[in-house]
Amino acid sequence: MLTMTNVTKAFGGVVATNDFSAHFTRGSLSAIIGPNGAGKTTLFNLISGKLKADAGSIVFDGKDITRLSPKAIVRCGIGRAFQVSSIFPTLTVAESLAAAVMAHQGQMGSLATSFATPRPTSSIKQRTAELLEMLGMESRAYTLARHLPHGDQKLLDIGLALALEPRLLLLDEPTAGMGPEERLLMMERVHHLWQRENITIIFIEHDMDIVFARAQTIRVLYYGALLAQGTPDYIRNHQGVIDAYLGTGFGEAEA
């Protein structure tokens, strides 16, 4: 599905992505972890086209997307929900989703321009209803996005990404800013979406309980390089990962 080969990106003297290679298989749910500044967000910026790699290649479903624009990459089927919510505060949940669906169906690539469309067609209404159901947000349909609790704002943000019908969804810290219970609930929803929609998800997460409970594969970044990749059990017991990131006692606490 997504193959990154020897991808490197530097900012001045800082090598944020260092000769990174990985293959993300179709239908997988995998996590990217690592200390602050390890290059996790940079990796997402490279995949989504916000940043261009200095070297290496990124191939998605057989197509080289290394040099494509963010809009072209969305059209290829890669969606992204952000660490900081990008919702429209003055729109309701249903209006926000409808705007995203309109942008997608019109292939305009920009949510802002979709407001020029006066009335949603029945296919847009139907897709909006599907998304509301998918997110479990039917009861929030007429709530202004700015009045949503933080967790639901993050969920709506994921909904906006899903409106673009991605085959690969990138989630940058889906549980950021949430309390422990809300985090678990959020990841349950993400897990449910993943199972139900049969999409491929890569998520960045700092909460190790969530990562080890939900990810099938974990990739550990350290100073921009891939330190280790494998199943939760493999990563939990990887001495290099314990030394660099997890710390001693993590495995015992989890066991």
Residue numbers at the binding site for ligand ATP (CB under 6 A)? 11, 14, 16, 34, 36-42
In the complex with ligand ATP, which residue's Cβ is closer, 41 or 105? 41
Q: How far is the CB of 215 from ligand ATP (least distance, A)?
A: 16
Q: Sort residue 5 into left (φ over 0), alpha (ψ -120 to 50) or beta.
A: beta
Q: How far is the CB of 122 from ligand ATP (least distance, A)?
A: 41
Q: How far is the CB of 245 from ligand ATP (least distance, A)?
A: 11
Burial of 19 (0-12, 13-18, 19+ CB in 10 A): middle
In the complex with ligand ATP, which residue's Cβ is closer, 42 or 200? 42
Written as one letter, the residue type at 169 is L
CB 210 within 8 A of CB 175: yes
Rg (alpha carbons) of the chain, rounded to whole number: 18
In the complex with ligand ATP, which residue's Cβ is closer, 35 or 230? 35
Q: How far is the CB of 39 from ligand ATP (least distance, A)?
A: 4
Mutual orientation of helices 122-135 and 180-197 as an angle, nearest 10°?
Answer: 130
E strand or H helix at 19: strand 14-24
202: three-class secondary structure by DSSP: strand
In the complex with ligand ATP, which residue's Cβ is closer, 43 or 158? 43
Q: How far is the CB of 106 from ligand ATP (least distance, A)?
A: 31
Q: How far apart are CA 104 and CA 100, in angstroms?
A: 6
In the complex with ligand ATP, which residue's Cβ is closer, 38 or 73? 38
